[in-house]
Structure 1
Amino acid sequence: RRYIIFSDFIITWNNLSTMGSMMTIMFIFMFLYSIIELINSKRKIIFKIKTNNNEWKNNSPILSHTNKETMFMFNK
């Protein structure tokens, strides 16, 4: 059986990598918690969308094609 003996330089980078992976896992859990908290809290929206786009006003795509562009006639 072989035992790998790392130099101090490699052990330092190994510890740094381990700490980075632990921080990444912690931030993933914090992100998931914040997403779940946002879904469950159901807070009111503090701003209104001021746009003329009907998809934003109705919160869904328009079922019928009523927003057709005006037709242009080109004469040659």
Structure 2
Amino acid sequence: MKTYPPQFKADAVALYESRSEATIRSVAADLGINPETLRNWVRAVGVSRPRGRRVEVPAEPPTPLEAENAALRKKV
């Protein structure tokens, strides 16, 4: 089992965080490390991203009903 210096781990996680479009698998491939290794480092630091397909932010402003719903969600 390989051991990596703490600075390398921190840099790898920072690289993953800085590339919003990148996956753990793609960053790990760029660095030449196992994706599970990078995934463990990311989890240890507490970085999280939504799973699945990324949803684009709507270009239009929310309708009054959507704005009201968002305000009610914040209260709860």
Larger radius of gyration: 1
Query: With CA pairs under 8 Å and 6+ residues apart, which has the higher RCO, 1 or 2?
Result: 2
TM-score (ref. length: structure 1): 0.25
Bigger fraction of residues in helix: 2
